[in-house]
Chain A
Amino acid sequence: MSTHQPARANLRSSTPSVDPDEVEARSLTVVVADDDDDIRDLVVFKLTQAGFTVHAVGDGREALDAIRDLRPAVAVLDVMMPGLSGVDVARAVRGDVLLAQVRVILLTARAQEGDVQSGFAVGADDYVIKPFSPRELVSRVNAVLARART
């Protein structure tokens, strides 16, 4: 089930772990960032059900902290969030060599399709447009993980 845990604020990507067990656990961790409680909880529910360990946050700043602390396999980021936007977080992730293995999926409203281009420009791996199918989102997460392994 979900470890809906708070970010470990003291850990930073500047202190990477080399413990192989942690690497294995991390490969199944997903950070979900969305300021919409209903959508965030639904995505957490669905990904947890699919076997992932999910860490949920409500804004971009917390998302970046969580990604740096947990170094998840995938980060699902809403584009429109208070603090940092999903695109800003994706840019920061791609700018940090220690987070090179983190796959980024952007969640964006149909009206913000221009953001998709910005997202890809800063290195996002995939995007899902709202309204979205929770099942499709899980498929996209699995797909980016499969691409990362090949």
Chain B
Amino acid sequence: MNMAAALLLALLSIALLVGALALAIVLARWARAGAAARRARVVAPVRPVLLAALAEEDPPRRNALLHTLVTLDSRAWRALEPTVADLLGKLRGEAHTLLRDLVDGSGGVARARANTRRLGAVRRARSAELLGSLEDPRVTGDLVRLLADRDPEVRQVAARALGRCGDPVGAAPLLEALVGGAVPARVVAQALLRLAPPAQPALVDALRHDDELVRAVAVETLGLTSAVTASRAIEGALGRDGSVEVRIRAARSLGRVGLPSSLPSLLAATSGDQPTALRIVSARALGDLGHPGAVERLVDLLNDPVHRVAANASRSLTALGDRGVAALEAAAGDGDGGPATAHVREALARWRLAEAVRRDSAVTSRLGVGA
């Protein structure tokens, strides 16, 4: 075989390969469209029954419709199940209870629990999604087990599902899943937010955890859920934790929780011997706290050599009402034109702008005119 023939053969082989690939794609799409059309045909007569059951107010009539759905043959149920699973995550109240009873009555819960042990990751993730939407504590154990799944996507789905499930028992395993990065902190935090406030005791316990990330996520979540009863524990984390990152999040959380009793802890965190990053966040948290007892300290911080501490102190003063604004105006008048004066003027300008916008919005609202 000469060179030209070899080249021709190679090109022919490539063309055949591309053709076969294109054919495979077309066939796969055709098969998928066919399956979707078949599913739509099967679902068409039973979907109105499902909607009628969800809308029905009369219990006997609702139960009759539910019975019709529970006794569907397996082909019709398989076709309807994705719609049921989708609606489970979007509805609550009686409609959600009915969907849960429907899944349970048709054997869907048992099937999903069994599927969490199957080989396919997609099947395990889909089952976790369904189990989470049921909001049923019976399945918490299955979802906790999936937090250690070999597939990272399945672990994330299980974490989100635990949040939706609403069982506070899931909080401690979720926090534990942070160790070693089994589940990303963002996913765990969002799930924990859904579980709080019943999960707050587990979050407080986690403030003593060996892992820095666990403590940081726990203290941040406590702040985001306004955990008033945990304020002492958060103050402890701010004052004593060995990690600056945890202390920063504790300061931010105390500002969000907003208890006046947290003032001394936050004032101490702004002192000059504390880490700079902590002082910056604490100066801002004093504004979130909104306690007028912080005015004097914040005025002192206007001359802080760290630019961001001074800037946050000036912004926080505008959040402390008339006393804070009066202190800023006095500082603007006394200023020597240095950096502190610049911070003060910037904060006052922002505050005046916000006040003007607020006044305009109030007028617009009273006139009933859209923005």
A interface, CB within 8 angstroms of B: 36, 38-39, 41-42, 45-46, 49, 90-91, 93-95, 100, 121-123, 130-136
Contact = CB atoms under 8 A, between A and B. Distances in A.
Contacts of A100: 368
A135 B57 contact: yes
Contacts, number: 66
Interface centre among A38, A94, A100, A130 (most CB of B within 10 A): A38
A122 B90 contact: no
Contacts of B92: 131-133
A123 B90 contact: no
B51 A45 contact: yes
B96 to A, nearest CB: 7
Contacts of B370: 90-91, 93-95, 122-123
Contacts of B95: 42, 133-135
A131 B57 contact: no
B93 A121 contact: no
Chain B contact-residue range equals 20 to 34
Given A94-B369, A95-B370, A131 B55 contact: no
B366 to A, nearest CB: 12
A134 B91 contact: yes
Determine the main DSSP class of A at the interface with B.
Answer: helix
B83 interface: yes
A90 B55 CA distance: 27
B36 to A, nearest CB: 14
Given A94-B370, A123-B370, A131-B96, A45 B52 contact: yes
A116 to B, nearest CB: 15
A125 B30 CA distance: 47
For A45, A100, A122, the residue with the greatest tally of chain B CB atoms inside 10 Å of its CB is A45
Instruction: Across the A-B interface, give the 5 residue pairs with the lowest CB-CB distance, nearest first.
Output: A133-B93, A94-B370, A131-B92, A45-B55, A46-B55
Contacts of A130: 90
A87 to B, nearest CB: 10
Nearest to B95: A134
A50 to B, nearest CB: 9
A133 B47 CA distance: 19
A62 to B, nearest CB: 20
B371 interface: yes
Contact of B83 (A38, A91, A93, A95): A38
A136 B93 contact: yes
Interface in B70-129: 83, 86-87, 89-96
A42 B87 contact: yes
B63 interface: no
